């Protein structure tokens, strides 16, 4: 396995790393589903990660988004077009998909950088096939439940699997050993809401969590790190 991807969780989860952010590919008997779409270089890393995992011939059926930030959605339109995949994304972040997010207060700095990034990196707008709300169930990977975890953005959510007790937790926190941290204020819609979102996440029965900004630790270790922010 190369340094940009690793197959995890009994060969059912592929972690693809691209430029400071990672995203996930989930596999079930029908095909593959992405949790977020990566950032710069994400498309080529996805392709090579699928080849290395031996998953190249599996169809990519859908892309599920944890939130609308550019480092998670840059490649979504291209992935949906190239692979014919559906897009499911939180309703609360709808303006991001249209390339018109609204930032206020200190996070306006992030808004300016994102506007520049959309332009320079060639962001393409997209319309989700399904807008997600708290408690929705997605019929993939033997059932994923949408868990609304607002604060980082208004619509920010995670995807919870009852069977494995795993939570794909988006940018609820960043997991880098002793440098693990909550998302910086200037990235957030409302930092105070993150505290209750962490409580909500930890109230689930969990075996592990998979964040999008993390090192290569196990989901169990990421969960231990998240607990320190409760």
Of 7 and 212, nearer to Zn ion (C-beta) is 212
- At its nearest, how many Å lie between Zn ion and the CB of residue 66? 8
- Residue bearing tokens 């693990």: 180
Residue 171 touches Zn ion, criterion: CB under 5 A: yes
Size of the site for Zn ion (CB under 5 A): 2
Contact status, residue 151 vs residue 197, Cβ threshold 8 Å: yes
Using the rule CB under 5 A, is 36 a contact of Zn ion? no
Judged by CB under 5 A, the residue of 69, 118, 213, 225 near Zn ion is 69
Contact of 74 with 40, CB cutoff 8 Å: yes
Q: For helices 219-227 and 191-202, what crossing angle results, to 10°?
A: 120
Residue 212, CA distances (Å) to 104, 120, 149, 176, 183 in order: 24, 23, 14, 11, 11
Which one of the spans 91-99, 143-151, 171-179, 196-204 is the region binding Zn ion (CB under 5 A)?
Answer: 171-179
**Residue nearest Zn ion, Cβ-based:** 69
Measured from the CB atom, the residue of 114 and 136 that comes closer to Zn ion is 114
Per CB under 5 A, residues contacting Zn ion are 69, 171
């Amino acid at each position: 396995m190369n340094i940009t991807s690793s197959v995890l969780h009994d060969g059912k989860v592929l972690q693809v790393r691209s430029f400071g952010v990672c995203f996930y590919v989930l596999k079930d008997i029908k095909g593959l589903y992405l949790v977020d779409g990566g950032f710069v270089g994400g498309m080529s890393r996805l392709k090579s990660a699928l080849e290395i995992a031996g998953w190249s011939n599996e169809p990519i059926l859908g892309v599920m988004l944890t939130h609308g930030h550019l480092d998670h959605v840059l490649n979504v339109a291209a992935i949906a077009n190239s692979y014919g995949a559906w897009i499911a994304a939180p309703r609360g972040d709808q303006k991001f998909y249209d390339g018109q997010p609204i930032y206020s207060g200190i996070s306006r700095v992030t808004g300016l950088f994102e506007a520049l990034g959309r332009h320079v990196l060639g962001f393409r707008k997209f319309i989700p096939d399904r807008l997600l709300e708290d408690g929705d169930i997605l019929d993939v990977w033997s059932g994923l439940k949408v868990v609304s975890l607002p604060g980082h953005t208004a619509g920010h959510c995670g995807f919870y699997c009852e069977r494995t007790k795993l939570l794909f937790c988006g940018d609820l926190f960043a997991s880098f050993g002793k440098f693990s941290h909550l998302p910086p204020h200037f990235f957030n819609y409302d930092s105070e809401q993150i505290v209750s979102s962490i409580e909500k996440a930890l109230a689930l029965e969990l075996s592990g969590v998979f964040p999008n900004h993390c090192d290569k630790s196990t989901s169990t270790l990421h969960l231990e790190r998240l607990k320190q922010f409760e």
